[in-house]
């Protein structure tokens, strides 16, 4: 008994059965129902998305003995002939094997003859972009003005290679690559009808491996049924495709979150023993990191994607946003360069080592257990708060701008002492500026507004729109750095969210106010300078406020 492949047995027999191409189906059905069918159609798209299927359905709808319409009966001789590939007035031509101009002329010589069996003679030319230039020229006139009984249906995977003169004579439809969820849903429908045992995870694996092609998905499903002895399971699909297991991804990401190089490299060694597909492993890492990044930026957006993973939410709280973005970029570049490595295994291992090596924003007292030599931590240069004084002189900048120079600024009282009140906005700004903070942790500190300081606990508030910056790991890192800078224990407590406009300024607002005051002081000093007043009087000139900027402290006195 011969076996018919799933891709053939489940080929759509009606327009309603076509999956994922609603934008094309709606146009074709409307044209058929209103009897406004164009004489030439061009279907383009990647392999296995339904180009030939739609062309055959259109041919069946045009030749159904019940009449032209979007719902052919499927039982007449014409419909059955099209389904079985024996309808004499449907001429399927493989342009890849008939590229010569003589072949095209031979076909066109028969266009003038009326249909033998059906209502219309339909020419279905597959991979039409493979025709030669002379063949296209021979086709042009007939394609533009064919007899009333002839329809041309062209299909191609590479429309860029088609001459503009051909495209302009056709109605063009771009068929989309199917998303994995649509492919998985169709596979589930097929397996349920076939009464084959399966699980959802295995279908998701096949749908992702199909890369948008329903035919590829059905071919993989056929292979998976045979590989699993009549059952489809996630483990058998991974073994068949050489894919990394979910536990491998989990262990790698947990190791990266803990900066534990030993466990990450142990997973890589286990993968090498099983000869897994490292390109698929990088794909799985990228997908997992994408979910974590989406969760960190918008938990609601991540929840809207469907099933919420507890592992993803856990990683989102353990990893900083900078780490997630760094790991994603390293994995993406590793995919590009994997074929350049001596072997895929070493290339994958080096990608993991890069992730462990280039970790930003590590606290000095929490060195990662990577099993590698400790690298020196970068320290941000110490910043000293200064009291601004009135500028005294005016000079021309090398770019032609007028710069008001200030005398050397006198440092204010230091704020890195336990006696200083961190609830004071000026002291809080100085404390944040001089602390060793980088990345999003520093961004969080710059937007915290001090409220009051009680028994070693500083109550701060944060605008609601920036609430996603504050998580437990960043608050702990911030407390350690500020305590070290202040030389005394400092705990932070975020009180009720405040409005966007607050009475107690944040360091960002304080620095902006100080910059505005310095600019205004420089402008006033310039207006009071005798040399400037003389120039204004002699040349009837004015000073543009936006052109004045205070000189940097290190520029003064040069």
Residues of the chain with CATH 3.40.50.300: 6-174
Residues of the chain with CATH 3.30.300.150: 390-558
Residues of the chain with CATH 1.20.272.10: 246-357
Quote the pTM value.
0.55
Tens digit of pLDDT per residue, the chain (558 long)? 577 888 888 889 899 889 989 999 999 999 999 888 999 999 999 888 989 999 999 999 998 988 888 888 888 888 888 888 888 889 888 888 877 787 788 778 888 888 888 888 999 998 889 888 888 888 888 888 888 899 999 999 998 999 999 999 999 999 998 988 899 999 999 999 988 888 888 888 888 888 889 999 999 998 989 888 888 888 888 778 766 667 788 889 888 888 888 888 888 888 888 777 888 888 889 988 998 898 888 877 777 766 667 788 888 888 888 889 999 999 999 999 999 999 998 999 999 999 988 875 543 444 444 444 444 443 443 333 333 343 444 444 434 444 554 444 444 455 566 667 777 778 888 888 888 887 788 888 888 888 888 777 888 888 777 777 788 888 888 888 887 877 777 788 888 754 544 567 888 788 788 888 888 888 888 888 888 888 888 887 887 777 777 765 444 444
- Reading the block at residue 247, the tokens are 């536990």
CATH class of 6-174: alpha beta
- What CATH number does the domain located at 246-357 have? 1.20.272.10
For 529-558, give the secondary structure using H, E and C: CHHHHHHHHHHCCCCCHHHCEECCHHHCCC
Residues of the chain with CATH 1.10.8.60: 180-241
Cα dihedral across residues 468, 473, 474, 476: positive or negative: positive
What span, in angstroms and rounded, lies between the C-alpha atoms of 492 and 197?
Answer: 55
- At 494 the three-state DSSP class reads strand
**DSSP codes joined into one string, 15-48:** GGG--S-HHHHHHHHHHHHTT---SEEEEE-STT
- Choosing among 3.40.50.620, 3.40.250.10, 1.10.8.60, 3.90.226.10, the CATH entry for 180-241 is 1.10.8.60
CATH class of 390-558: alpha beta
Nearest in space to 252 (alpha carbons), one of 346, 329, 338, 355: 355
Cα–Cα separations (whole angstroms), residue 544 to 107, 203, 402: 79, 68, 10
């Amino acid at each position: 008994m011969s076996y018919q492949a799933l891709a053939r047995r489940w080929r759509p027999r009606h327009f309603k059965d076509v999956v994922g191409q609603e934008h094309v189906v709606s146009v074709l059905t409307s044209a058929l129902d209103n009897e406004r069918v164009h004489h030439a159609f061009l279907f383009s798209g990647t392999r296995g998305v339904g180009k030939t299927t739609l062309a055959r359905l259109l041919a069946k709808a045009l030749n159904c003995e019940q009449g032209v319409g979007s719902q052919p009966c499927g039982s007449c001789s014409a419909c059955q002939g099209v389904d079985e590939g024996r309808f004499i007035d449907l001429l399927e031509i493989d342009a890849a094997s008939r590229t010569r101009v003589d072949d095209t002329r031979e076909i066109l010589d028969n266009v003038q003859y009326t249909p033998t069996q059906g209502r219309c003679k339909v020419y279905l030319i597959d991979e039409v972009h493979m025709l030669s230039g002379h063949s296209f020229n021979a086709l042009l006139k007939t394609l533009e003005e064919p007899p009333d009984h002839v329809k041309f249906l062209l299909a191609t995977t590479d429309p860029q290679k088609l001459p503009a003169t051909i495209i302009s004579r056709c109605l063009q439809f771009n068929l989309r690559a199917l998303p994995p969820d649509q492919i998985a849903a169709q596979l589930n429908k097929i397996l349920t009808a076939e009464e084959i045992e399966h699980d959802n995870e295995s279908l998701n694996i096949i749908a992702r491996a199909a890369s948008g092609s329903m035919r590829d998905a059905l071919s993989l499903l056929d292979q998976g049924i045979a590989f699993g002895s009549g059952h489809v399971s996630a483990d058998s699909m991974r073994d068949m495709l050489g894919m990394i297991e979910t536990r491998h991804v989990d262990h790698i990401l947990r190791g990266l979150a803990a900066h534990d190089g030993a466990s990450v490299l142990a997973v890589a060694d286990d993968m090498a023993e099983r000869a897994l597909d490292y390109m698929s492993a990088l794909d799985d890492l990228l997908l997992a990191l994408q979910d974590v990044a989406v969760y960190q930026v918008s938990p609601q957006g991540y929840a809207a994607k469907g099933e919420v993973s507890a592992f993803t939410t856990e990683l989102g709280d353990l990893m900083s946003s900078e780490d997630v973005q760094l790991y994603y970029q390293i994995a993406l570049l590793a995919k590009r360069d994997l074929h350049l490595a001596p072997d895929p295994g070493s290339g994958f291992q080096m990608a993991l080592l890069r992730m462990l090596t280039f970790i930003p924003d590590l606290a000095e007292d929490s060195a990662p257990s990577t099993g590698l030599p400790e690298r020196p931590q970068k320290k941000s240069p110490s910043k000293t708060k200064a009291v601004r004084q009135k500028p005294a002189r005016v000079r021309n900048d090398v770019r032609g701008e007028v710069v008001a120079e200030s005398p050397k600024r006198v440092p204010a009282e230091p704020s890195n002492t336990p006696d200083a009140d961190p609830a004071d906005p000026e002291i809080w700004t100085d404390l944040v500026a001089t602390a060793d903070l980088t990345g999003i942790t520093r961004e969080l500190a710059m937007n915290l507004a001090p409220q009051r300081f009680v028994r070693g606990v500083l109550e701060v508030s944060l605008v609601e729109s920036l609430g996603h910056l504050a998580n437990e790991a960043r608050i702990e890192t911030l407390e350690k750095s500020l305590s070290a800078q202040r030389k005394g224990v400092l705990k932070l407590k975020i009180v009720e969210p405040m409005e966007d406009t607050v009475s107690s300024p944040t360091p960002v607002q304080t620095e902006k106010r100080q910059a505005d005051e310095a600019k205004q002081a420089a402008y006033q000093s310039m207006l009071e300078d005798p040399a400037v007043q003389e120039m204004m009087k002699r040349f009837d000139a004015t000073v543009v406020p936006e052109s004045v900027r205070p000189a940097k402290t290190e520029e003064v006195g040069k």
